[in-house]
Chain A
């Protein structure tokens, strides 16, 4: 699924919570119908089959609620977004630093800006390296 589709789905889930709940309910109901049908084929009465299907499924409302919450959850990795934020800050700081270097008379202000830019770049590099390291389970 593309990032665009993930974003559209996320926004849709927030704008139309009732439609999402109906969709989840339809999907879970289909599961129960299929299980009931299979139970009848195994020799249960329709009533027994429905009861057994419901028992093997568990708490229908709780599952529905969990699914709706997941659907409304933020679809992107917050750590990566934070890394992007640091990189953006580093770029801005770098740009300002270059501008400060071009000031005819070097002063304390430009030196300070360069130090801040270097510190932010180092921080962005370290965070990026930490998040790109493979996870060990």
Chain B
């Protein structure tokens, strides 16, 4: 799949954000970078859409945030996964695996 065409399915962004934060607290910019890194640079989040996603997840209580100093000594808002978020990530991963396996089954059907 070409990188230009590797768009995100609906609902995938939440799972990717949770996954990125499962590896440790990060600011918004770092989350985008980490998603690109862990997907081997195949997935690029639309930068503007990342923030509404983060605010939605925080509203649901899956992530928490606090202001702190970034690596270049600037004030930045850092996000971390909550216990509820960790549970949600497990559910999202299971749903994703089920969906991917069902889709593959359908595609391989004669």
- Residues in chain A within 8 A of chain B (CB atoms): 1-3, 5-6, 23-24, 26-28, 30-31, 33-35, 37, 56-60, 62-63, 66-67, 70-71, 73, 75, 137
Asked whether A59 and B75 contact (CB < 8 A) given A1-B82, A71-B55, the answer is no
| Consensus secondary structure, chain A interface | helix
Q: Are A27 and B51 in contact (CB under 8 A)?
A: yes
A–B Cβ pairs within 8 angstroms, 18 of them: A1-B63, A1-B84, A2-B61, A6-B59, A23-B77, A24-B51, A26-B77, A33-B74, A56-B47, A63-B49, A63-B52, A66-B51, A67-B51, A67-B52, A71-B59, A73-B59, A137-B11, A137-B95
Once bound together, how far apart are the Cα atoms of A26 and B95, in whole Å?
35
What's the Cα separation between A31 and B77 when bound, in Å? 10
Are A70 and B29 within 8 A (Cβ)? no
Distance (whole angstroms) from the CB of A50 to the closest CB of chain B: 14
**Inter-chain contact count A-B, CB under 8 Å?**
70
Tell me the residues in window 20-53 of chain B with beta carbons closer than 8 Å to chain A beta carbons. 27-29, 46-49, 51-52
With an 8 Å Cβ cutoff, the count of chain B residues facing the other chain is 28
> Which residue of chain A is the closest to B11 with respect to CB atoms?
A137
Chain B residues with CB below 8 A from A35, complex form: 29, 47
The distance in angstroms between the C-alpha atoms of A33 and B47, with both chains bound, is 13
- Which of B74-96 touch A at CB < 8 Å? 74-77, 82, 84, 95
Chain B 1-12: CB-based contact to A (< 8 A → 1; otherwise 0): 000000000010
Closest residue on chain A to residue B70 by CB atoms: A30
Q: Which of B28, B59, B70, B99 contacts A75 (CB 8 A)?
A: B59
> Assuming the A-B contacts A28-B51, A57-B48, are A75 and B75 also in contact, with contact meaning beta carbons closer than 8 angstroms in the complex?
no
**Are B52 and A6 closer than 8 Å at their CB atoms?**
no
B62: nearest residue on chain A (CB-CB)? A1
With A and B bound together, what is the CA distance between A56 and B45 in angstroms?
10
B74 engages A31 (CB within 8 Å)? no
Contact of A27 among B28, B47, B56, B84 (CB under 8 A): B28
B61: chain A residues at CB < 8 Å are 1-3, 6, 75
Q: How far is the CA of A20 from the CA of B49 in the complex (A)?
A: 18
Question: How far is it, in angstroms, between the C-alpha of A62 and the C-alpha of B52 when the chains are bound?
Answer: 10
Determine whether the beta carbon of A63 is less than 8 Å from that of B27.
no
